[in-house]
A = this chain, B = another copy of it.
Amino acid sequence: MKKTYLLAPGPTPVPETVNLEMAAPMVHHRTPQFSKIFGEAAEDAKYLFQTKQDVLILASTGTGGMESCITNLFSPGDKVLVVNGGKFGERWGKISESYGLEPIWINVEWGQAVDVNEVKAALDKDKDIRAILVQASETSTAVAHPVEALSKLTRDRDDILLVVDGITGVGVFPLPMDEWGIDAIVTGSQKALELPPGLALVALSEKAWKFADQSKCPHFYFDLKKERKNLGNQTSAYTPAVSLVKGLRAVLKSIKEEGLENVHKRHNRLARATRAAAKALGLKVIAPDSPADSLTGVFVPDGIDGAKIVKSLRDEFGVTLAGGQDQWKGKIIRIAHLGYVDTFDTIVAIAAIEMALKKFGHAVEMGKGVAAAQEILLEAY
């Protein structure tokens, strides 16, 4: 017998009740029965996004949602400022290049948040920049970029948009779209939304919709104007991913019931507990000044191969965490706090890391990280 635990930064565990919703008999998508489901999901998504704007539901993963922002808001030749501090920042730039935009790269050292002054200087230097493209939470490095501060650079100008990849941000920590003046924000189903991968959610500000009227990038499947029109009839432009939308409605209802503020607090509590545990174990936390509450990244001790630890945790201990990507391959462990993960999942992850480190010959005092985490996790009880 081996029980398994999933604390990777997506896909995240799916609640049993949501699985039951998704396994209910299939319904046809062009019926009043399904329109009601779709309409309720889209309505409750506004609560999640903290916006009065429509939230569009696309049958794709988050990258498709990111692409929809590029192809629906901009035109070939447009200059866009790309905050590149990890794999997903890089992705903004690559999508932009694919459609003939002109990315202006702000390269940020991995593990650091972008310096707002550097962004400001770039915008001051070139008034033709039409967007800041940024991650709320750069999943590859476990860093949160300062979205609120960036929004102050764009919100009072009508010729530039703040476009936020909120894939591991929305439903994790505050990103009040309307209050901050975020112009476009994307999330995906397999993160804080506790669903399998396969849905992207996208919302645009009034300013962004004006950009959409001018955009000349080609697109067909990802057509946000067409989606908005169809949303008026509580449906999507093409066949929606019916079972995932059913699950989305269920999850959004549970998020509303818990209260978004409490959802944020929960993620923050798990993140703080994990950081405290790392500290107690003498593990260096990535980005201690700008950590994302979606996941905690820690450097593995010198002389230990992080990839082997992650593999052992998964295959021997049954605990799936994430390792590092690209330049951080084998160097870090990432522990997610996203979605359907709570106190004792987090304790399991920390205990397993302690045990794996000991197994790999690192001097660890068993239970020391767990104890540090418990002190913080107790807040919830």
Contacts and interface: CB of A to CB of B under 8 A. Distances in A.
A171 interface: no
Interface stretch (A77-85, A236-244, A252-260): A236-244
Contact of A244 (B64, B188, B198, B218): B198
B196 A26 contact: yes
A59 interface: yes
Contacts of A94: 220
Copies of this chain present in the complex amount to 2
A59 B198 contact: yes
A13 interface: yes
Interface stretch (A3-11, A115-123, A275-283, A296-304): A3-11
Given A22-B22, A197-B239, A198-B198, A60 B63 contact: no
Interface stretch (A95-103, A204-212, A263-271): A95-103
A235 interface: no
Interface of A is mostly: loop
Contacts of A10: 239
Contacts of A188: 239
Nearest to A217: B218
A221 interface: yes
Nearest to A33: B314
A324 interface: no
13 contacts: A11-B28, A19-B22, A28-B322, A60-B60, A61-B241, A62-B238, A63-B239, A98-B218, A98-B219, A196-B242, A198-B241, A198-B243, A241-B241
Interface of A: 4, 6, 8, 10-14, 19-20, 22-23, 25-31, 59-64, 67, 70, 94-95, 98-100, 188, 190, 196-198, 217-222, 238-244, 314, 320, 322
